Structure 1
Amino acid sequence: MIKKITSLLFLSLFVSTTAFAAAPTAESVQASVDSLWVMIAAVLVFFMHAGFAMVETGFTRAKNSLNILMKNFLTVAIASVLYFIVGFGFMFGGSSGGLIGTDSFFLSGREDIGFFLFQSVFAATCATIISGAVAERMKLKSYILLTIAMTGIIYPIVGHWVWGGGWLSELGFVDFAGSTVVHLTGAVGAFITVLFLGSRVGKYSKGKVNVIPGHNIPIGALGVFILWFGWFGFNGGSSLAADPTLVPHVITTTLFSASAAILSSAFYTLIRFKRIDPSLTLNGALGGLVGITAGCANVSLTGSLLIGLIAGVVLVEAVTFIDSKLKVDDPVGAIAVHGICGIWGTVAVGLFDVQNGLLYGGGAALVATQALGVLAVIAWTSVTVGGFLFIVTRVSSIRVSREEELSGLDFTEHGSNAYELKDTVLESNVSSTSPFGSDLVERLNSIGTGNVSDMNQRNTI
């Protein structure tokens, strides 16, 4: 009997059976497509961090390359974990007076993991904006503490005001993908931090603005292309659905604004400086992308071109003003790109919104709301970042010593170097009197430490 049962069970393995599953409905298919699009967009936004890393590395000195790479990697890791623990809850939890979320910590009670993932990579983007502005002189441990504050509470509360059902959203504030929520918040944090840090050694002397050139402009340009590519997911994914009408429009306005900003920044620098400035033109692309982020779903294609054209000119003037007038040392121009162009893009929604914009007969109400939102975010971020850094600096300096800065943060913070050119040359035993001897080594190592006053060579991405 046992043998018969065993034989029947064995034979049943080779007999096909029919599985009765629920037939897919139009709603279930649409939900799957929506989820897939948001996941693709989240991956594109994650890939933007490679762009940030390349931009910041290429447009700063070689002796700080590893330090910048470590900051970018750590930012992504810290933001992902901390946003899961508290950030998402503060941003999208049940609202307390329209000011802050009060639940959903550790995703408790939430099943929308895809939405969390998309928002998580946004949080990391906000924090990494600070990385470039403080490059080459901030202690890594101090940067990590600031990243914890930004991703844990400062950025999530701004997000709650606008995207989490908070008071700004109730007023009708429009920021589709984050010109203010992400970019302006990060830029204001960068500006306040730079005020605490001060400028790099040799940047300003005897009333002159000295250029400190980046060591690899092609890598910086590659970073801009990566950011541009990822921005299609940054803006397009903010639809949170694979809407066949909305998503193509958002991606096209994103393309148009960046392209227009490149053209305007290139030709404006030609008029202003008598040559097309490559670094400002590359920055123009980013300025156009930041500028269109708030209104990419709300403006027409023509409106996106106008926003980009103006953003390119605004970018050039903002970089010059911040660098030469305010004397705020921002090695990669993050404050101008993400801050000033973020303000322009947010206010531009009040002008170019096809439903309620001033230029479309909607009156000045939306312009006023947009301006109020900008001022509120600037005030909140300035006070919180400033207060946090004030406390930290009472305990310890957030800046490396002069000797460590001159040596380079790769060696002093990590005990290593990104490039081994010096060792390679010295190990060749070439005579010091040779044109390829120690003279060359010293000149290569001193790149970016001399005083150069030509403003047109400024590397400011």
Structure 2
Amino acid sequence: METGIFTINNVWMMVCTALVFFMHLGFSFLEIGLTRQKNTINILFKNVFIICTGLVLYYIGGFNLMYPGEFNGFLGFAGFGLPIPENGLTPDYADGGYTYWTDFLFQGMFAATAATIVSGAVAERIKLGSFMLFTLIYVGLIYPIVGSWQWGGGFLSTLGGEDAGFYDFAGSTLVHSVGGWAALVAVYLLGPRIGKFSEEGTPKAIPGHNLPLAASGVLILWLGWFGFNGGSVLSADPATTSLVLTTTCLAAAAGGIGAFFLSTVLFKNYDLTMFLNGILGGLVGITAGADLMSPLEAIAIGIIAGAIIVLAVSAIDRLKLDDPVGAIAVHLVCGIWGTLAVGIFGDKAGWAQFGYQSVGVFSTAIFCSLTAFGILFLIKKTSGIRVSEKEELEGLDIHEHGMDAYADFRMNQH
């Protein structure tokens, strides 16, 4: 391979790495905007903690858990740290798409995203120390193990033979559903925020304090998805990269439109939060098959994802689960939809592929649900996972951080 092509590929991958890193600002803005101002610093602290510890944990062992080389298909480990291979900085590594260092950093950004998904779902009532402990275990062990099943050459990648198998281009299941299952379990064990449901069980809206920030967060996330999906081409190949960015953007736009129309019909108002989460649902939905879909198929996947958002948010409320930012609907439900859509639309569509996709969804669901439950249940029984009633009512910023996000005008929002 020409040195120039290798350099271009690697530079593109580094740009995509920066875009995925930028997504953490988008998640922070979205979570802050959709929750109350008295918990703003708490959310920011969690998101900064996730990216810092996620990268270090991925260096210590996560990368080599996810890419162990020859292993039994379920669990393998290539050792601690980053022992650079002999060809790690040459075009002989990864077909000339990037260097070993770029490989680690790009994948490390993905690792932290799984815990960020959980952060929004448990906002405003989880003990910070308990959340941090959960993050250390889940990002350090659970996420890379699931990733190894497919991206590390594990059993999901070889279902049905060498040329078949489960397919997840950029992580509808391996990133988003991994975080989504943990979010669902955490929300169940935590219980709803005070005032979320009436005595009769009727859900009540708890408005976020800054919708402009929430909208900014979604637009930043959309931009970041250029790196999330575009980088998953694993080179700067013009044909595939341009297709992936096109399908990604069309699915996002269609997701927003789908959620906007259905929520308007059902609720008789123009709900911005549904519109925003519809965009994210479309992005999550296309992530599994962004390189396989035509533009029209991407639009179909996005519209369905947008409609799923509206229905899933309502269903979660009916189940008396409290998810302040809609993370379960976006990342779990649309992650499942996007994964199954690979067997319905695109170049791999067919009953056999749909079966492989279902196996991937089911195995991830079982493993992530059981491990998340075990970790959180153990923490709950030892140190506890929920703050006191007083702390929740007065705000986590004051009680856990001793400061205000907006020091000039503290409003009492109970």
TM-score (norm 1): 0.84
Matching residue within 438, 445, 449 for 2:412: 445
1:22-171 paired onto structure 2 within 5 Å: 27-110=2-85, 111=88, 112-171=100-159
**CA drift at 1:127:** 1.1
**CA drift at 1:93:** 1.3
- Distance in 1 of aligned mates of 2:17 and 2:75: 24
Over the residues paired in the alignment, what is the CA RMSD in angstroms?
A: 1.1
Are 1:197 and 2:190 an aligned pair?
yes
- Distance in 2 of aligned mates of 1:268 and 1:72: 32
Conserved? CA contact 1:95–1:166, under 8 Å:
no
Matched residue SS, 1:295: coil
**CA drift at 1:30:** 1.2
Are 1:187 and 2:175 an aligned pair?
no
Conserved? CA contact 1:177–1:234, under 8 Å:
yes
The one-letter amino acid paired with 1:390 is F
The one-letter amino acid paired with 1:398 is I
Partner of 1:213: 207
- Distance in 2 of aligned mates of 1:151 and 1:44: 20
Matched residue SS, 1:107: coil
Partner of 2:241: 247
Work out which of the two has the higher radius of gyration on C-alpha atoms and give 1 or 2.
1
Conserved? CA contact 2:226–2:245, under 8 Å:
yes
- Distance in 1 of aligned mates of 2:32 and 2:287: 25
Conserved? CA contact 2:55–2:112, under 8 Å:
yes
> Percent identity, aligned pairs only?
50
Matched residue SS, 1:205: coil
Partner of 2:96: none
**CA drift at 1:271:** 1.1
Partner of 1:300: 294
- After superposition, the C-alpha distances for 1:165-224 in whole angstroms (9 at most, x for unaligned) are 000011110000000000000010011111111111111122221111100000000000
**CA drift at 1:300:** 1.1
Partner of 1:406: 393
- Distance in 2 of aligned mates of 1:219 and 1:49: 14
Matched residue SS, 1:96: coil
Instruction: Report the number of matched residues.
Output: 395
- Distance in 2 of aligned mates of 1:63 and 1:156: 34
Conserved? CA contact 1:84–1:107, under 8 Å:
yes
**CA drift at 1:445:** 1.7
Conserved? CA contact 1:92–1:104, under 8 Å:
no
Partner of 2:255: 261
Are 1:376 and 2:363 an aligned pair?
yes
- Distance in 2 of aligned mates of 1:390 and 1:95: 34
TM-score (norm 2): 0.94
- After superposition, the C-alpha distances for 1:7-64 in whole angstroms (9 at most, x for unaligned) are xxxxxxxxxxxxxxxxxxx521111111111100000000000000000001100000
Matching residue within 200, 211, 226 for 2:220: 226
- After superposition, the C-alpha distances for 1:346-396 in whole angstroms (9 at most, x for unaligned) are 000001122x303xxxxx000011011001001000111111112212211
Are 1:335 and 2:332 an aligned pair?
no
Gaps (5+ residues) in structure 1?
A: 1-25, 359-363, 424-443, 450-461
- Distance in 1 of aligned mates of 2:325 and 2:367: 24
Conserved? CA contact 2:55–2:109, under 8 Å:
yes
Stretches (4+) displaced over 6 A: none
**CA drift at 1:162:** 1.1
